[in-house]
A and B are shown apart, each in its own frame.
Chain A
Amino acid sequence: MWNNIYAWLDERIGLNDLYVNLLDRPEPKTTWWNTLGSASMFLFVMQGLTGIFLTVYYTPSPDHAYDSVQYIMEGVAFGWLIRGIHHWGASLMVLIVFIHMLRVFFTASFKYPRELTWLIGIGLFLTTLGMGFTGYLLPWNQKSFWATTVGTQIAGTVPFLGDFTLKALRGGQDLSALTLQRFFAAHIWMIPGILAALIGVHLFLIIKHGESHFPTKED
């Protein structure tokens, strides 16, 4: 019966083609360094899932943000695990994405026809940093409050646009409830949306062009 169901779906979706092209595609001789993109992707999915779970209890308001995080850590079963994965996964994702970028740079994998993949990859790195920057404020503790004060202040030193940028980031002149709320919106809706879209294009290009082989002496 399962074979029939599979055959029915395969005829309509092309499961077998998907499998061959996505998971069974030809690869050049690779090393562990080539797995960092998949690792980044895995971390993105993990951050997405744990993040969704955190919003079940988290409240982005100055009155409750800190208490709700304390509640997740101490009051809810396995809250420490979900938040722990999200917390450490965030640092790990920045690290892995950055090493992935270095690998692509050192193996010259950004060259023709993969320039666009590389450019989108830069976008992915920047949005990952954006996730880190906005997520850091959400626990609303002393460290996150002052880190965001400093971070937005730095953005404020940009010539001409600085004052506008600072106000746009903070939602006003001061760090306030508006800042927390807009950082939350950016952290769970806007930046992840951009990130997911860019990942889609990035993956499409990788599958279209295949992986590059490591340069040899002749290259």
Chain B
Amino acid sequence: MSGSNELSRRDFIKVTTGIIGGFIGAVVGLPAVYYLIDPALQGGGKEAWIPIGKFEDMLLDTPYAFSFTRVQVNGWERTASSFGGYAIRKSDKPEELQILNSRCTHLGCTVNWNEEANAYLCPCHDAKFSKDGKVLDGPPPRELDTYPEHRITADGVIEIFFKEG
């Protein structure tokens, strides 16, 4: 075969094996990668308006505690997660409500309003937040998060906008 441009029988087998093997590898390998990273590619969670209480029950300048539970389906398992927060009424206008998320910005424990301390206290690492969520003491990197969108229904119930994930 030397000196000839024709493919030898051996080389033909080698090349064919390589091509077919590569093809099979790609057909199985690429879906396998997709299979592994699929959960990371799932879109954001569901959205919902969650009622937190009647506007008339919220006292002026007093944190109004609320909590709610969302059930999320993760793969083959349903997990219930609790969320909560405080609504602080500033005036007669519902749109001026400040609605804080009670999840501590440090490591995610739940903060509680303490009347004596006049602050939200976190049980985990002694974080302290003022009534409107500013950091007073402790390790949190930023003030408490807020639920940015809320609305009032016809019968006076405040609902917050909630997006999973």
Contacts and interface: CB of A to CB of B under 8 A. Distances in A.
Interface of A: 46, 49, 53, 56-57, 59, 64, 67-68, 70-71, 75-79, 81-82, 85
B75 A75 contact: yes
A64 B41 CA distance: 23
Interface string B12-43: 00000000000000001001101110110100
Contacts of B28: 46, 81, 85
Q: By DSSP majority rule, is chain B's interface helix, strand, loop, or mixed?
A: helix
Contacts of B36: 53, 56
8 contacts: A57-B75, A67-B77, A77-B31, A77-B35, A77-B41, A78-B31, A78-B35, A78-B38
Contact of A78 (B34, B39, B75, B76): B34
B76 A68 contact: yes
CB-based closest 5 A-B pairs:
A67-B76, A78-B31, A77-B38, A71-B76, A78-B35
A216 to B, nearest CB: 25
Contacts of A77: 31, 34-35, 38, 41
Interface string B25-68: 00010011011101101000000000000000000000000000
Contacts of B77: 64, 67
A79 B36 CA distance: 9
B75 A68 contact: yes
Contacts of B76: 59, 64, 67-68, 70-71, 75
A135 to B, nearest CB: 19
Contacts of A57: 75
A82 B75 contact: no
Nearest to B32: A53
A163 B52 CA distance: 61
Nearest to B41: A77
Interface centre among A53, A64, A68, by most chain B C-beta atoms within 10 angstroms, is A53
A131 B75 CA distance: 27
A79 B35 contact: yes
B35 A53 contact: yes
Contact of B35 (A46, A64, A82): A82
Contacts of A56: 35-36
A100 to B, nearest CB: 20
A195 to B, nearest CB: 21
Contacts of B32: 49, 53, 78, 82
Nearest to A70: B76
A212 B16 CA distance: 26
Contacts of A78: 31-32, 34-35, 38
A85 B27 CA distance: 12
A49 B33 CA distance: 12
Interface in B61-117: 75-77
Contact of B31 (A46, A49, A59, A81): A81
A77 B36 CA distance: 8
B156 to A, nearest CB: 41
Contacts of A53: 32, 35-36
Contacts of A67: 76-77
Nearest to A77: B38
Max count, chain A CB within 10 A of own CB: residue among B32, B34, B76: B76
B100 to A, nearest CB: 36
A63 to B, nearest CB: 9
B19 to A, nearest CB: 17
Contacts of B39: 76
A75 B31 CA distance: 14
A180 B39 CA distance: 26
